[in-house]
Homo-oligomer: A and B are copies of this chain.
């Protein structure tokens, strides 16, 4: 087996597809499927089989000719690649409706993430419990995030507050941010940001309607 190609950098778009592969593999594992070909996996995901094989080849050789991929094995490998062999603690900033929905969302824990800190700046909310967590004052963000060694945060505050929160998170040592506020954040180059904005997604689709 060839060693992983550490020399050349893996394109970000390839990395972005790995979680989708993993999601499908998790599903297959639950179904009890032991082996799957790139063609069948591709069909489920609505992409081409060549793309899957090419993507995976950046990291190693995980399949068997004539057979395909062992679901459990590939699942494990992708988890390793994505650093999902541990549980990541996540800080959530903003305990509004969205924050509540996120804290109660059961989908994180099984996939390697645990919201372990929740912040808000509303005095009415601070101190309240939500899904077993006490809402902390935003003023203690830096302190607590440092203390917990947290590297990932979710921003669920209004757009007007998002940049300030971001600056504080970055100062506290956060290196990955999932941002639900509809605003482009300014961050240092070593901090990763992913955006989730339903409105821009809907607007994208209306282009094709009528």
Residues A104 and B97 in contact, CB atoms below 8 Å apart: yes
Residues A19 and B108 in contact, CB atoms below 8 Å apart: no
- The answer to whether the Cβ of A146 comes within 8 Å of any Cβ in the partner chain is no
Tell which of A101, A152, A194 has the most Cβ of chain B within 10 Å. Answer: A101
Tell me which of B96, B175, B208 contacts A209 (CB under 8 A): B175
Which residues of chain B come closer than 8 Å to A90, judged between CB atoms? 202
A23 and B194 alpha carbons, distance in the complex (Å): 17
Q: How far is the CB of A172 from chain B (nearest CB, A)?
A: 15
A83 and B207 alpha carbons, distance in the complex (Å): 6
- The answer to whether the Cβ of A204 comes within 8 Å of any Cβ in the partner chain is yes
Which residues of chain B come closer than 8 Å to A176, judged between CB atoms? 202, 205-206, 208-209
- The answer to whether the Cβ of A88 comes within 8 Å of any Cβ in the partner chain is yes
Give the size range of A's interface with the partner. Answer: 35 or more
For the complex formed by this chain, how many copies does it contain in all?
A: 2
Known: A24-B184, A97-B104. Is A194-B201 also a contact (CB below 8 A)? Answer: yes
A97 and B151 alpha carbons, distance in the complex (Å): 26
Residues B207 and A178 in contact, CB atoms below 8 Å apart: no
- Taking CB as reference atom, which chain B residue is nearest A199? B111
Tell me which of B23, B98, B203 contacts A182 (CB under 8 A): B23
Q: How far is the CB of A150 from chain B (nearest CB, A)?
A: 11
- The answer to whether the Cβ of A74 comes within 8 Å of any Cβ in the partner chain is no
Residues B192 and A205 in contact, CB atoms below 8 Å apart: yes
Known: A112-B206, A182-B23, A207-B83. Is A100-B102 also a contact (CB below 8 A)? Answer: no
Q: How far is the CB of A62 from chain B (nearest CB, A)?
A: 16
Interface 1/0s, chain A 14-43, versus B by CB < 8 A?
Answer: 011011101110010000000000000000
What are 13 sample pairs from A and B whose C-beta atoms fall under 8 A apart? A16-B204, A19-B203, A20-B184, A24-B184, A82-B203, A88-B202, A88-B206, A112-B203, A152-B202, A176-B202, A176-B205, A178-B205, A194-B204
Known: A19-B203, A108-B202; 5 extra A-B contacts, CB below 8 A, are A23-B200, A81-B207, A84-B206, A88-B202, A101-B101
